[in-house]
Amino acid sequence: MAVADATYRSVLLDEVQGAVEAAGADAGVAAHYGDPLREQRALARGTAVADLSHRGVLTVEGPDRLTWLTTLSSQVLTDLVPGDSAETLFLSVQGRVEFAPHVLDDGVRTWLIVEAHHAAPLRDWLDRMRFALRVDVRDRTAEVAVIGATTVPDHLRAASAELYAALDGLPREVTAPGAEQKKTEGEPQRAEAELHPVALPLMWSDPWPGVVRGGWAYGVVQGHPAEQTTWHEVLVARDRLVEVLTGPVADGLGLAGSWAAEALRIETWRPRMGADTDERTVPHELDWLRTAVHLEKGCYKGQETVARVHNLGHPPRRLVFLDLDGSEHTVPPAQSEVLLGERVVGRVTSAQLHHEAGPVALAVVKRSVDPAADLTVRAPQPETPEISETTPAPGAAGTTDQAREQWAAAQTVVVPPEAGQTVQREKGFLRGPR
């Protein structure tokens, strides 16, 4: 069974008491384990981690891998050294975002962490792009699991380094950088020759909200809500997932569900592929030029749109952060309408209950929306039951439309309306002298 299948179910859902499965993009792992807000606080403190084992994991091996990936994507990856993390985008010809992998290189292979349903299509597309180059694309999802954390415990670093060692035929017992060897009484000290001195934890560290080389920030740099936060995605052998998260080695480590991880992501304005994107999304709308686009690199699919919007135009939509009215203790579902007065000006993309801020959301709105305007979020229209000859139409005499829940929303600018047009065009240069 492929992990990206809709039938995927994490073993932790059956092993951990109180686990409640998530829906939507995070189906297959736990939404929470009985106390979402407590889990969220623990995840933020670094005393809990999140099961992201539904995520897809690909590797690209071969001496041409970094050059090849650079030519296909929005980021320069040729200067990655073992242990480096990056983010890149694969775009359509029109510059729309199609894939947004988290990238890690270990010196032998490049790892791409993607949304569950993107593993197979991205692998297939990369296979078609190989031509005569020395690269080999593999789907590792069935053997490798992803764990999310704000702080990575030593035993997870060691487990991840053991995965790296096993892939390269090295001894399974390794010393992960930063992890101390603990010697129990009566146990002989291992010889240094038995340990691989360069064992590398396979761990992606999120560059957000920094502005990477060649990148560009449309939103704030100083005072960004993510400037004091960290996020890591650790790769471990899938058959060790229960052991490293619930076994004796994980003593004192808590588990947090996907709701907790999403709330912390929304708080930091961090875009997520599939959640905050649709078929029209260009990177500029989500401030993705910070971490995922190198504006000075050569041609790649979609590059013309990236350059044109950044230099001469404006993104048609922009990301906003919404503080929502919390009096009802609910959050709007994704795709809820964002209203300015009675006019629909955007859609909610992600929403969660934050342990300190209450209900919060990310939304994509039209560029023309006044950044100072008060907005309203309205739940999507409920599905209309099939109308028969004996069923009155909605709104007809004797019927009542189902009420649509609404939330007052105060917006914080993530991408300002004036984003783009960094090159000022000459005006009047076609007019002759008078």
**Contacts for 411 with CB less than 8 Å, ≥ 6 apart:** 320, 321, 322, 363, 365, 369, 371, 373, 375
> Cis omega before residue 209 (within 30°)?
yes
Residue 338: name the closest of 368, 382, 285, 374 by CA.
Answer: 374
- 345 in Cβ contact with 365 (< 8 Å): yes
Between 258-267 and 36-45, two packed helices, what is the crossing angle to 10 degrees? 60
Q: How do residues 285-307 score in pLDDT, each as one tens digit?
A: 999 999 999 999 988 999 999 99
Average pLDDT over residues 19-34: 97
Residue 160, classed as helix, strand or coil, is helix
Q: How far apart are CA 294 and CA 315, in angstroms?
A: 17
Confidence of residue 131 (pLDDT cuts 50, 70, 90): confident
Tokens at 79, concatenated: 């200067």
User: Can you spell out the DSSP letters for 41-59?
Assistant: HHHHHTSEEEE-TTSEEEE
Q: Name the band, by pLDDT with cuts 50, 70 and 90, for residue 199.
A: confident
CA 407 to mean position of chain CA atoms? 26
62 torsion bin: left (phi>0), alpha (psi -120 to 50), beta (else): left
Q: How confident is the model at residue 169 (pLDDT cuts 50, 70, 90)?
A: low
- pLDDT tens-digit map of 348-358: 999 999 999 99
- Indicate the pTM of the whole model: 0.88
Q: Is pLDDT at 258 greater than 70 in this prediction?
A: yes
Mean predicted confidence (pLDDT) in 316-330: 94
pLDDT recorded at residue 184? 37
In whole angstroms, give the CA distance from residue 358 to residue 330.
9
Phi, psi of 385 (to 5 degrees): -65, 155
CA distance 425 to 146: 47
Q: Which residue has the tokens 């190989």?
A: 130
Least confident of 20-34, 59-73, 369-383: 369-383
